[in-house]
Structure 1
């Protein structure tokens, strides 16, 4: 993957100036727009070159939610997105506003009790699910039907004589039916007569490729500032570094003037902002700005910043409960939460990113291998993020973590969310 922390050297491949996303409409029986299927595209050419399903979906989500924007991509409609098993348990799900997405379960997925529990959790959170590319019913498909809302039938892939019975059985299970790969008017009429609810295919529209210029991120400046803050710089040196980056100054002034600091008057100068916030808080919000930088979203509506901010605070609060007098442990827990997702925004392997950021070995081991007390806190936080009560219970069964009861963890989640809401930028 490309190194996003430095500009490309002469002769090196540069990051494309634009980002791309495909979308294909899904229509209802009256021919009105129902939703879009969102598709990976890496160029203006209307075809997919996918080498890694996980990476492809990650790019689709990031471009929809962050770089292009939900309103521009989806308007008021839902987006259908392909999901494999790994993605359903991944942090990327928490970046997606649940009410805006239908998660398509790929035909290659393995259905079991753990997957069905996860589907139940995500449906309760507001996601819808669809089975993708169904051409026949088998025991695995039938076992999954109670956990999905829609079934997408590959209209070209089903043996013609089996279509009526397939549609009848799925309808009997109360599922909305989507006919995909509708290529002719005759296909559409037949699917409609068989009771299909929604329709997708070249007869209606080929996928459209959306594009936008890649935002000019200030991540290099943020990383430079973080390096400087680690050395507890003198005020003059810190001011000089900040003045080189006016966008960061604007954000930090907003932090200083947010309700969390309870100041009696508005801060209007950089020196006042630094004094009001303190270098420790500046470092924390610079770390969060690393996630917001270049995504083009207001702070409060950026789900990735919300996720990482509340996770980091949750881990810090849990660390204080475990070791009330160990400030260094609490700080390390906060940093572990912050950097647990940094590879998402930098599009690099986690180990490579953490090596470049020069994080401590304990933080690195926690994020890469789940080791140590910090690794356990990270696992508890990730399980809490996705509402996985069995995983939380298993983690706190360790005597060293017995103090973190489910009731206490629930309180810490609320406290972390309240902290982020108080500090968020407009």
Structure 2
């Protein structure tokens, strides 16, 4: 197929959506969410995949202040806001991922057979990252190295961790491309030529053995839009309360039926391909069974933090406090009991619900009684008793910059809590803050 035919025929593969400005809204809140999508072609000119790009509005360019936050929004909007079938069809999606997201639970919401993790050039490689990339590849993810422009010892050291190498044709020296491409191929990695803007560059890339191609020569990114969902917060709180006490399908199904917005998100998650079902699910009961309560809980937690309020989530001090506190408690629980997922989940739930009375404008007792939370979580929040209660105290003290380590080492502290030394607690605080920054601000619409 000629280059001209490739460029012309390619446009037939693209779902062109009109871009439009947000409707007027007295609250100033945007009415739509947006996602950029640029095609990646194979040697025959057929669409092989799409790169998914952050877009804050209908304009077709990125305004990114935080790489992790932008990546989190791209994934959440693709899976829950718009839906994987509408965004990707039968193709894969390349998504930029920074170090924070690579180590987060969030990455596991992506079906590995549908998403390629594109490692930003700013990510530094160390033993922990190499181990993590190995885990993700064994889980089925493909790893792509982004913005490669020259052959170096650093690149050669990274190749064992990757499946695909994206070579930047705007930055790479033409005289060095042949050696770069040959070395990558010798290591058994797939070559993707990105930022192809001329017929000559496309011909050169084909001649050098590149298998995939991306750039303005073929098509510019297109902007997909979907209506922003209204607040899901009340239903999510009730759903999380049920999940915290291991409610079964008999209890979960009627609660979900009262919250169609949450149901839509759940069906999109299950139908995204994350569960390898090979078919779409229309039944709510089927969706609950397919997803499993742990995955539903994770998604509900993400939605709770992404739900829009009067302030952007990053600007809302209450959300900042609840988000960092919950994650801090989960991390601390994991540090104390590395193999006890239930304990970590309960700690996260305790952190979430410790401030929910403020969100709902009520008292802790009144809110917890209505939600029917698990007794040990209620006891931790109301009376600060038990291991979860002590973890909550630690989170409160640490959040205020106090001496949480002394509390953990106190004679009446639960067994093992002394392991939460000042250095450990400081690291957990930093990790919790990083998680918040990656996931919170309008992560899902």
TM-score, structure 2 as length reference: 0.58
**Structure of greater relative contact order (alpha carbons < 8 Å, 6+ residues apart):** 2
CA positional deviation for 1:293? 5.8
CA contact 2:55–2:223 (8 Å) conserved in 1? yes
Change in 2 beyond 3 A, CA 1:35/1:226: closer
Structure-to-structure mapping, 1:362-377, within 5 angstroms: 365=325, 367-370=327-330, 376=336
Equivalent pairs, count: 303
Q: SS where residue 40 of structure 2 aligns?
A: strand
Which sits farther off after the overlay, 302-311 or 52-61? Answer: 302-311
CA positional deviation for 1:219? 2.6
Q: SS where residue 115 of structure 1 aligns?
A: helix
Q: SS where residue 59 of structure 2 aligns?
A: coil
Aligned to 2:267: 297
Q: Structure 1 residue 352 and structure 2 residue 309: aligned?
A: no
CA contact 1:370–1:376 (8 Å) conserved in 2? no
CA contact 1:153–1:177 (8 Å) conserved in 2? yes
TM-score, structure 1 as length reference: 0.60
In structure 2, which of residues 27, 43, 46 is the aligned counterpart of residue 29 of structure 1?
Answer: 43
Instruction: Determine the C-alpha separation between the residues in 2 that align with 1:151 and 1:383.
Output: 40
In structure 1, which of residues 71, 74, 79 is the aligned counterpart of residue 88 of structure 2?
Answer: 74
Change in 2 beyond 3 A, CA 1:164/1:133: same
Cα deviations by residue, 1:329-365 (Å, 9 ceiling, x for unpaired) = xxxxxxx9975874245673597238679xxxxxx85
Aligned to 1:107: 121
Instruction: Determine the C-alpha separation between the residues in 2 that align with 1:384 and 1:146.
Output: 33
Aligned to 2:194: 180
Aligned to 2:217: 203
Q: SS where residue 216 of structure 2 aligns?
A: coil
Instruction: Determine the C-alpha separation between the residues in 1 that align with 2:105 and 2:186.
Output: 35
CA contact 2:191–2:212 (8 Å) conserved in 1? yes
CA contact 1:366–1:378 (8 Å) conserved in 2? no
Change in 2 beyond 3 A, CA 1:199/1:300: closer
CA positional deviation for 1:23? 0.5
CA contact 2:334–2:344 (8 Å) conserved in 1? no
CA positional deviation for 1:218? 3.8
Instruction: Determine the C-alpha separation between the residues in 2 that align with 1:354 and 1:378.
Output: 26
CA contact 1:218–1:293 (8 Å) conserved in 2? no
Aligned to 1:232: none
Aligned to 2:400: none
Change in 2 beyond 3 A, CA 1:376/1:114: same
Q: Structure 1 residue 157 and structure 2 residue 157: aligned?
A: no
Q: SS where residue 265 of structure 2 aligns?
A: coil
Change in 2 beyond 3 A, CA 1:298/1:20: closer
Aligned to 2:101: 87
Q: SS where residue 209 of structure 2 aligns?
A: coil
CA contact 1:36–1:74 (8 Å) conserved in 2? yes
CA positional deviation for 1:226? 8.1
CA contact 1:367–1:375 (8 Å) conserved in 2? no
In structure 1, which of residues 335, 339, 343 is the aligned counterpart of residue 305 of structure 2?
Answer: 343
Unmatched tracts of structure 2, length 5 or more? 1-24, 276-287, 346-413, 418-445
Change in 2 beyond 3 A, CA 1:356/1:11: farther
CA contact 1:308–1:337 (8 Å) conserved in 2? no
In structure 1, which of residues 13, 17, 21 is the aligned counterpart of residue 28 of structure 2?
Answer: 13
CA positional deviation for 1:212? 1.2
Cα deviations by residue, 1:283-314 (Å, 9 ceiling, x for unpaired) = 9x57x96993663735754769988931698x
Change in 2 beyond 3 A, CA 1:227/1:108: closer
Q: SS where residue 158 of structure 1 aligns?
A: coil
CA positional deviation for 1:13? 3.0
Aligned to 1:54: 68
CA positional deviation for 1:171? 0.9
Change in 2 beyond 3 A, CA 1:339/1:68: closer
Instruction: Determine the C-alpha separation between the residues in 1 that align with 2:118 and 2:82.
Output: 21
Which sits farther off after the overlay, 299-308 or 207-216? Answer: 299-308
Q: SS where residue 93 of structure 1 aligns?
A: helix
Instruction: Determine the C-alpha separation between the residues in 2 that align with 1:373 and 1:149.
Output: 35
Unmatched tracts of structure 1, length 5 or more? 1-9, 230-254, 262-276, 314-335, 358-363, 386-397, 402-426
In structure 1, which of residues 26, 39, 43 is the aligned counterpart of residue 57 of structure 2?
Answer: 43
Instruction: Determine the C-alpha separation between the residues in 1 that align with 2:344 and 2:154.
Output: 29
In structure 1, which of residues 120, 140, 156 is the aligned counterpart of residue 134 of structure 2?
Answer: 120
